[in-house]
A = this chain, B = another copy of it.
Amino acid sequence: MRADAQKNRQRLIDVAVELVLEVGGEPARDAIAQRAGVGIGTLYRHFPDQQSLLHAATRHVLEKSISAGEVLIGTVPDGADALRQYMHLALDNGIGAVNILHPLLEKPDWPDLRVRAARLMKSLVGRAVRGGALRDDLSERDIVFGLTRFARPLAVGLPPDEERSLAHRHLDFYLDGLRAQSPGPQKPLLPDSR
């Protein structure tokens, strides 16, 4: 594959992730090509149909996040710390795009990644809980859910980098709230409020 073709292909994937996060759904193909600075024809040559681009984008983000997480497992001894670092990394890697894209994919089945992701999450959460640094009623699904709350820019009318740093700051607040010794709500909520 020619060098420029390779570069364009990757650029298209990166832009796709970017736009998915901005739009909160499938971005228009024309918009992707334009932002990537390539002709629309180039996009269609690399990704003949929408699915193939979305698949590639999802895989790319997943692969990056999982790999980074696996490094953390072997690098950061403290369980709670490893989990926190992972969540911040995933956030910066655009993990929110995966949440948006997954339901839109026709057959999103990557046995290899699924196994690695499951193993990774189990290990991260398990170590953090066993270390007593996380409440013990948390499942992997809880962590994934929590991550999705911060992993995606929402319309708040802030400049992107300001919003990004706020997200990291509040993700830390949230993680504090997941700690085992956390006091929990002071009073039960009003029963009729939910």
Contact = CB atoms under 8 A, between A and B. Distances in A.
Contacts of A187: 78, 81
For A80, A88, A133, A156, which residue has the most chain B Cβ atoms within 10 angstroms? A156
Contacts of A88: 189, 193-194
Contacts of A148: 154, 156
Interface stretch (A10-18, A44-52, A98-106): A98-106
Interface stretch (A29-37, A115-123, A173-181): A173-181
For A81, A149, A172, A175, which residue has the most chain B Cβ atoms within 10 angstroms? A149
A186 interface: yes
Nearest to A169: B142
A89 B150 CA distance: 21
Contacts of A157: 102-103
Interface string A118-139: 0000000000000001000000
A176 B178 CA distance: 8
A194 B66 CA distance: 18
Number of copies: 2
Contacts of A152: 154
B81 A186 contact: yes
Contacts of A182: 173, 176-177, 179, 182
A41 interface: no
A23 B100 CA distance: 11
Contacts of A149: 149-150, 154, 167, 170, 174
A31 to B, nearest CB: 14
